[in-house]
Amino acid sequence: MTLKTRIQDDMKDAMRAKATARLSTVRLLLAAIKQREVDERKTLTDADIVAVIDKMVKQAESHSAEDKKRREEIEARNQLDALVYRVEKDSAEWRDRLPADAKSRLDASLEGGKQALRTGEPDGIRRALDELNAAFSAAGAAMYSAQQEAGTEGAASATGTAETPQEDVVEADYEIVDEGKK
């Protein structure tokens, strides 16, 4: 059995197993073998097929750094897009209760994030992602501290430091009477 026949059998096995990644890899390999056969106008030997495989592996390794960089850029873009959406959605309810400086910082970083998404520049996207994360965290901290201050004022009034009207409380003793024992 030749190497080309084994590769074709692997393609059939991948089709049966519905292994799409393996199937596309084997198809790519078979296409490269077929292209070389057409270019050279001869049937390739096992040694020639091994040479084609080696060439494809070297190409994949040489492009792996570029692929990794591109993947990281896409991931940063997706993170920024999701964060812009989350900030717009989550802050809609409480944005008007923010202090002016936190609100303006959040609005500016949100607009910067949208602009970075429009331009698509990887460095701009990373900067906008960091700035929007920082602004969103600062806005959340400002809201938390405002709630804490409101909570201490509420606790002070509950302890009686502020004047509140007193209700008349009547204390009484009671006894449970069982109607059946009378």
Extract the tokens encoding 14: 């991948």
**Residue 18 backbone dihedrals phi, psi, to 5 degrees:** 55, 40
Which fold would CATH assign to domain 65-157?
Substrate Binding Domain Of Dnak; Chain:A; Domain 2 (1.20.1270)
**Range 12-47 burial, b when 16+ CB lie within 10 A, else e:** eebeeeeeeeebeebeebeebbeebbeeeeeebeee
pTM for the whole structure: 0.58
Q: What is the pLDDT along the chain (182 residues), one digit of tens a residue?
A: 789 899 999 999 999 999 999 999 999 999 999 999 999 999 889 999 999 999 999 998 889 989 999 999 999 999 999 999 999 998 888 888 888 888 899 999 999 999 999 999 999 999 999 999 999 998 888 888 877 887 766 555 445 444 556 677 777 777 777 777 65
Contact 87, 106 (CB under 8 A): yes
Domain range annotation of the chain: 65-157
